Amino acid sequence: MDTAKPRFLSDTTVMLGRSMRHIFRSLDTIITVTIMPIAFMLLFVYVFGGAIRTGTGGSYVNYLLPGILLIAIGTGISYTAVRLFTDKQGGLFDRFRSMPIAPSSLLWGHVLTSLVSNFISLIVIVLTALLIGFRSPAGPLAWLAVIGILALFTLTLTWVAVIAGLSAGSVDGASAFSYPVIFLPFISSAFVPTDSMPGPVRVFAEHQPVTSIVETLRALLSGEPAGGDIRIALAWCAGILVVAYVLAMRVYKRRIG
């Protein structure tokens, strides 16, 4: 019967509601994801900021904020992997396999939850930045572009988190993959210009995805043209997203097969 066929959109909506209820029942997750990036921002602005020369002539918090936002996303997606691992260990996959629901709706519920929860964290961080001096001349279109890039970056890393959550053998293993992601902005132009770094480090910093994303966000928030950085940033995100999605679905099918 048609009514018995899986309905992907409605099933995903149900799974999203389920995951969001878990988030709001345990707000310490969002608080934890938000506090660490804010602590980094305050540390660099008020302790190290006076010693760092960015060459931009603007406020250091303006220079710093894009990298802080990426660190917040890197922290947030680790909880997606943990929640997915918990569902797997709790036998939820086996129960859903016997029900007339779209097989991928469980994964998409977690992915959309990641987008919503990270968006909440990013809003809190931007409001904190405004309190300590962040100002942006960017117009509505530039802000929409910033939101779009942050959403794409979150979506990309979330599908990587799905692979970790499905493949891990423990909760610690599910969350550990995020550590390199969180560390990557420190070897980029997020905190200091890359031309201040020694040779090999500079080469790596200038050719890894975080730098192009940071430079794109920084240009957009400054009301300046993003130039070629935005194309490189989008190419990195799109490429990683496609690979991560394909691998995640393969791992998921093996788990429920």
Maximum CA pair distance of the chain?
69
Interval 61-118: pLDDT, tens? 999 999 999 999 998 888 888 888 887 787 777 676 666 677 677 788 888 988 988 9
Let me know how long the chain is. Answer: 257
* Nearest C-alpha neighbor of 219 from the set 58, 83, 11, 99: 58
- CA 45 to chain centroid, in Å, comes to 22
Interval 109-151: pLDDT, tens? 888 988 988 998 999 999 999 999 899 999 999 999 999 999 9
Per-residue pLDDT at 256 exceeds 80: no
Which residues does 79 contact at the CB level (< 8 Å), separation at least 6?
Answer: 29, 33, 114, 117, 175
Which residues does 6 contact at the CB level (< 8 Å), separation at least 6?
Answer: 100, 101, 102, 103, 105
Which residues does 88 contact at the CB level (< 8 Å), separation at least 6?
Answer: 165, 166, 255
Q: What is the pTM of this model?
A: 0.89
The residue range of the domain holding 44 is: 2-256
Give me the number of domains the chain comprises: 1
Q: Copy the structure tokens of residue 148.
A: 């779009």
Phi, psi of 128 (to 5 degrees): -65, -40
Q: How far is the C-alpha of 143 from the C-alpha of 243, rounded, in Å?
A: 28
Which residue type, as a one-letter code, is found at position 119? F
